[in-house]
Amino acid sequence: MCKPTGRSKPGSLLEAIAHSLRSHGLDIREYRHGDELIEIKVVNLQKLNKGQASVGYDGNVTWEYTGDIETHVGIEGIRDTIVNVLTTDMARSSERAIGAQEETKS
């Protein structure tokens, strides 16, 4: 996905995000207000147990996941997932993913 230049409408940026996510095989459900895309919901149909992510026109990103809280293994999995999401440098991950996509196009 290329970086936007100048000001873009949030809906058009969501369209770009949705397109990029689809290229990774993810399923996107779009929510619109008139013609404007205002939110997307993202799931991996091959791995529904991974949960669902939502991205709003305001940049709000949420992830919903139902974990096993009744066993030690389940609790450790929830803990490890939260630690990985909140401590991984996401911007660097995105830069690597974008760089890899550009290399495959060359």
Q: Give the predicted TM-score (pTM) of the model.
A: 0.69
Same domain? For 24 and 13 the reply is: yes
For residue 96, give Cα distances in angstroms to 2, 12, 13, 37, 82: 13, 23, 20, 27, 21
Same domain? For 25 and 51 the reply is: yes
The per-residue pLDDT for 81 is 86
Same domain? For 17 and 28 the reply is: yes
pLDDT in tens, 38-91: 999 999 999 998 899 999 999 899 999 888 889 999 999 899 988 988 898 876
Same domain? For 13 and 28 the reply is: yes
Check residue 83 and report its DSSP letter.
H
Same domain? For 47 and 96 the reply is: no
The tokens describing 57, both together, are: 């026109």
The tokens describing 29, both together, are: 């459900």
Containing structural domain, residue 17: 1-65
> What is the rounded CA–CA span in Å between residue 53 and residue 44?
10
The per-residue pLDDT for 95 is 58
